[in-house]
Amino acid sequence: MLRAERLTTPRLALEPLRLKHAAELATALDDPALHAFIGGAPSTELELRERYDRLGAGRTPDGTEDWLNWVVRDRATREAVGTVQATVRDGGLEAELAWVIVTTRQGEGLATEAATAVRDELGASGVATFIAHIHPDHAASAAVAGRLGMRPTRSRADGEVRWSDAGRSRP
């Protein structure tokens, strides 16, 4: 079973997500604009606590997927600027990545930096293929996936395009 470990990049610290982060992230992620492409509305602290409690198991009840989640922090300010998650399946061979960066910090390359750190860490642990599901109109997330070496496929799920790096070499 893979577990989220602390990761650092030049600008970011990625901390394994815990229940204690719910209050801070409820405030940081309380922005309807973050839901423009994924739907829904910002979660309350209680909703996040319930979600993080389920994710705290680190694995689906049937053991087929590992759930790894991180709080993304600015190393200089220690401010939470988003989250990154990886759902690892297929016996640890494939990981689906997802990222969220607060709107006030978007456009700085933070999503790419955080997702690259997770991809590299999981790749070193044997994960061979990385995917993401991205709304077809979400150009910023598509750009992140492209910088991670993923390309759009013809596959769709819930209106989102499946991006994959299968068959591609990583930098």
Per-residue model confidence as pLDDT tens digits over 88-138: 999 999 999 999 999 999 999 999 999 999 999 999 999 999 999 999 999
In the chain, the largest separation of any two C-alpha atoms, in whole Å, equals 42
Cα–Cα distance between 18 and 53 in angstroms, integer?
A: 8
57-61 contacts at long range (C-beta below 8 A, 24 or more positions apart): 58/1, 58/3, 58/4, 59/1
Q: What is the pLDDT of residues 28-54, one digit of tens each?
A: 999 999 999 988 999 999 999 999 998
Dihedral over Cα of 2, 123, 54, 12: its sign: positive
- Mean pLDDT, range 61-84, rounded to an integer: 96
What was the pLDDT predicted at 21? 96
Domain ranges of the chain: 7-164
Cα–Cα distance between 103 and 11 in angstroms, integer?
A: 17
For the chain, the residue count is: 171
- Mean pLDDT, range 133-150, rounded to an integer: 97
What was the pLDDT predicted at 169? 63
Cα–Cα distance between 94 and 103 in angstroms, integer?
A: 29
What was the pLDDT predicted at 43? 96
Return the percentage of the chain with pLDDT > 70, whole number. Answer: 98
* Pairing, β 12-16 against β 160-164: unpaired
**pLDDT over 90 at 171, yes or no:** no
**pLDDT over 70 at 170, yes or no:** no
Task: Answer yes or no: are the C-beta atoms of 150 and 130 closer than 8 Å.
Answer: yes
**pLDDT over 70 at 16, yes or no:** yes
Out of 3.30.565.10, 1.10.760.10, 3.40.630.30, 3.40.30.10, which CATH number does the structure's domain 7-164 have? 3.40.630.30
